[in-house]
Amino acid sequence: MRKVLLATTALIGVALAGSVQAAPTSPISLNVGGYDDFIAGFYHQSQGVLGTSPAARQTTHDFENEYKINFDATGKGSNGVEYGANISLWNGSEEGLLWGNAGTQANMNSAYVWLSGAFGKALFGDEHGASDLFVYAPTVGEGQVDGRYRDFVGASTLAFFQPSGIDNTEHSTKITYYTPKVGNDNNKVQLGVSYIPQMYDYGQAVVATQAGNANSAYQDVIKGALQYTGNFNPVNVTASAQIISGNHSAGALSATTLGGGAVNTPASLGTLRAQDFTAWGLGTQVGYNGFTFGGSYTDQGSYNTVSGQNKAQNAYTLGAKYEFDKVGVAANWLGGQGYANYLAHAGADAATVKNTNYVGNFDAYAAGAVYTWFPGLTSNVDAVFFNQSVKDQTDHNDGYVLLLSQRLAF
């Protein structure tokens, strides 16, 4: 009996060994990357005090550390179709913390499955969407007017104007389709379209009621973007256009993060819903011999407004950068006007609020530089000077943010 058991065990061992040896390697490859970015910030804004107590006064300097880890799984089918998934963890802003820094908690920045082939590319999940095709004033390093300076100013005291108009960093759960790049070697055109059932709704979160989204009062948002690239040696051109449209939900704008929530938005806004909106924009960049010049114009329509707020809302950028050897430098400007219902207010009644929430003039002037010490290791400097003028005197604001950073990308 013992001999039988030993023989049987040996046969099973040989079979298992053969099975292990014969098992094919996984067709999926996994790449891990990311970055860590240490930033020293020095800053001031004239409306840094929302109260008279020492606890309400603004600080003048602080450190920030931002990190991101990307996991990219990729594969390729026998028919040539490529496929994969991306999961990105980040300690930056997430739902409920829009337009500001977060902390030590790692949040999801993106998570999606994708397919790519002769038909184009389709993405399913949490990612930026078609607005990634939109271009504006060029930047380097920490991004200048592209928003990094926002981490060091008050979210309820300074309006957030963005180069792309509507937030192009949002990663709401969506479906996105990109056509193949059509054209020849020197001229190509690509179209992208995204559909978002609930804006600023992420991951496993499901909005079960019409008024259930605590971050955004918008649903059924559609993004469309077109990008053209041309090579006219020694000049290259990128031109883009985008359109974004969304419908309001049954929830009140004042009850959402976009509307300021219960903290900053006056109760007089009550249950007013956001207005449906259609926003559009045009942007271009031209490169020549290390120089890149570019700019953009966006019209936000009625985005993030309530009935009675019907003044123009737009943003525009202009800038240039120059890259040589290990150095890159840039200067750019962002201007705009529009409603900012999330700002701290002095107005008490709905009529006053509608009139005083309008930022008539916003300007941010910026310069930045980056130096690459070794592959992936860079030092960066950013200087941004801003000013805004609002009909409500308490929301006038001007100041600056100076950033010094050490970054490693891997």
Domain ranges of the chain: 37-65+128-409
Query: Within 10 Å of residue 342's Cβ, how many Cβ atoms?
Result: 25
What percentage of the chain exceeds 90 in pLDDT? 60
- At residue 193, does pLDDT exceed 80? yes
Residue 246: closest CA among 297, 290, 312, 194: 194
Q: Which pLDDT band, with edges at 50, 70 and 90, does 154 fall under?
A: confident
Tell me the C-alpha distance between 69 and 88, whole Å: 6
Q: End-to-end alpha-carbon separation of the chain, Å?
A: 59
Spatial contact of 276 and 270, defined as CB atoms under 8 Å apart: no
Going from the C-alpha of 51 to that of each of 73, 143, 279, 344, the distances in angstroms are 50, 32, 36, 11
Task: Write down the CATH number for the domain with range 37-65+128-409.
Answer: 2.40.160
Least confident span in 87-96, 114-123, 167-176: 87-96
Spatial contact of 359 and 277, defined as CB atoms under 8 Å apart: no
Tell me the C-alpha distance between 74 and 28, whole Å: 6
pLDDT of residue 394: 61
Residue 195: closest CA among 233, 167, 170, 224: 224
Task: Work out the average pLDDT over 306-311.
Answer: 87
pLDDT of residue 102: 65
Q: Is 277 helix (H, G, I), strand (E, B) or coil?
A: strand
Contacts of 236 (CB under 8 A, 6+ apart): 229, 230, 286, 287, 288
For the chain, the C-alpha Rg in angstroms (whole number) is 25
Q: What is the mean pLDDT of the chain?
A: 85
Residue 80: closest CA among 26, 46, 127, 116: 116
Q: Which pLDDT band, with edges at 50, 70 and 90, does 91 fall under?
A: confident
Helix or strand holding residue 6 (H, E): helix 2-22
Least confident span in 163-167, 196-200, 295-299: 163-167
pLDDT of residue 216: 86
Tell me the C-alpha distance between 142 and 39, whole Å: 9
- At residue 55, does pLDDT exceed 60? no
Q: Which pLDDT band, with edges at 50, 70 and 90, does 58 fall under?
A: confident
Q: Is the peptide bond before 180 cis (omega within 30 degrees of 0)?
A: no
pLDDT of residue 211: 76
Spatial contact of 296 and 283, defined as CB atoms under 8 Å apart: yes
Length of the chain: 410
Spatial contact of 135 and 238, defined as CB atoms under 8 Å apart: yes
Q: Whole-prediction pTM value?
A: 0.87
pLDDT of residue 372: 98
Q: Is 251 helix (H, G, I), strand (E, B) or coil?
A: coil
Task: Work out the average pLDDT over 11-40.
Answer: 67
Q: Is the peptide bond before 234 cis (omega within 30 degrees of 0)?
A: yes
What's the token pair of residue 366? 């910026």
Task: Work out the average pLDDT over 295-311.
Answer: 92
The model's pLDDT over 310-337, given as tens digits with 9 standing for 90+, comes to 899 999 999 999 999 999 999 999 999 9
Task: Work out the average pLDDT over 117-122.
Answer: 97
- At residue 392, does pLDDT exceed 90? no
What's the token pair of residue 312? 């123009």
What percentage of the chain exceeds 70 in pLDDT? 81
Spatial contact of 313 and 339, defined as CB atoms under 8 Å apart: yes
pLDDT of residue 75: 96
Highest mean pLDDT (candidates 51-65, 218-232, 356-370)? 218-232
- At residue 62, does pLDDT exceed 90? yes
DSSP secondary structure letters along 28-80 = -EEEEEEEEEEEEEEEEETT--SSSSGGGSPPSEEEEEEEEEEEEEEEE-TTS
CA quadruple 96, 99, 101, 107: dihedral positive or negative? positive
CB-based burial label for 268 (10 Å; 0-12, 13-18, 19+): middle
Q: Which pLDDT band, with edges at 50, 70 and 90, does 54 fall under?
A: low
The model's pLDDT over 242-292, given as tens digits with 9 standing for 90+, comes to 999 999 998 888 788 777 765 455 555 567 889 999 999 999 999 999 999
Residue 295: closest CA among 312, 306, 279, 281: 281
